Amino acid sequence: MSKSNSVLILTLFVFALGLASCNSQKINAGKDFVSLFNGENLDGWVGNKTSYRAENGMIVIDPQGTGGGNLFTEKEYGDFTLRFEFQLTPGANNGLGIHAPLEGDAAYVGKELQILDNTAEKFAELQEYQYHGSVYGVIPAKRGFLKPVGEWNSQEVIVNHPHIKIILNGETILDGDYLEASKNGTVDHKDHPGLQRSSGHIGFLGHGDVVRFKNISIKEL
C-alpha cells in the first residue's frame, strides 16, 4: 500500500470516529426525554377533552366559543426540561401551566407561561408580562422571536425551582428566578401563591382560540 493511500485511509478512519461520536452525543442528548403525547389520543392527560383533541399527530385546541378550558398531564412534575412545538392562529392566546394544581387559576395557584400572538393588533397595548413566554404577572419575556403566524415554533422550558429559562426558536427569551423577581411584590400587583410551589401538573390553558401543539416531550431533572 502506498504512503498516500495509508494517509487517506487513516484520515477516513478518524473522520468516521468523529461522526460516530457526534451521532452518539445526539442520541444521548435526547435519550432521557419522554413523550407526553402519543400522537393518537389524549391518554395521560386530564381536563377538557372536548375542546382539546388529538388530530394528525397534534394536540389541537378548537374551543368553538366555549373558552377552551385546560388540559393537564395526569402526572405531576418538579424540575424538568420540556420541549414542544406550537402553531398559532391570528390573535391566538393560550398558556402553558406549570407546577399547577388541577383546580383554580393556574396563573396564580401555579405558574402560567404565556403562549400568544404578539403581533395581533388587539394585543398591542398589553402589559410587558403578558406577551409570549412571560411568566404571567411576574417576569416579562423578550419579544421579536416568534415565527410568522401559521408557522411552527419550537420552545424549550427549563425549570429548576425557582429558576426558569425559556428558549424560543433557539433564542433565550427569559432567564430568571421567579421568587427573586417577586420578593418585593409581583409586577401585576397580585398574589401568586403558586410561585412557592415546586411541583405540579403541566398543562395547556385555553383562552378561546385555535392553537396546535406537537412533539411534546419532557426530561425530569
Q: What is the pLDDT of residues 124-174, one digit of tens each?
A: 999 999 999 999 999 999 999 999 999 999 999 999 999 999 999 999 999
pTM above 0.95, yes or no: no
Q: How confident is the model at residue 25 (pLDDT cuts 50, 70, 90)?
A: very low
Contacts of 149 (CB under 8 A, 6+ apart): 88, 89, 90, 92, 117, 119
Q: Is 47 helix (H, G, I), strand (E, B) or coil?
A: strand
Confidence label for 70 from pLDDT (cuts 50, 70 and 90): very high
Mean pLDDT in residue range 26-38: 74
Tell me what the mean pLDDT of segment 27-49 comes to. Answer: 86
207 — pLDDT class (breaks 50, 70, 90): confident
CA distance 38 to 73: 13
CA–CA separation, 144 vs 117, rounded Å? 11
Distance separating alpha carbons of residues 60 and 38, to the nearest angstrom: 13
| pLDDT category of residue 18 using cuts at 50, 70 and 90 | very low
For the record, the C-alpha cell of 104 comes out as: 383554580
Are residues 88 and 149 in contact, defined by beta-carbon separation less than 8 angstroms? yes
Residues 6+ apart with CB under 8 A from 48: 68, 69, 70, 71, 206
> What are the phi and psi torsion angles at 155 (to 5°)?
-140, 145
Distances (CA, A) of 36 to 50, 85, 105: 19, 12, 22
DSSP 61: E
What value, to the nearest 5°, has the Cα angle with vertex 172 and ends 37 and 84? 10
pLDDT band (50, 70, 90) for residue 30: low
pLDDT digit string (tens) for 77-101?
A: 999 999 999 999 999 999 999 999 9
Cβ-based neighbour number of residue 80 at 10 Å: 17
Answer whether 97's CB lies under 8 Å from 194's CB: no
pLDDT score, position 2 = 54
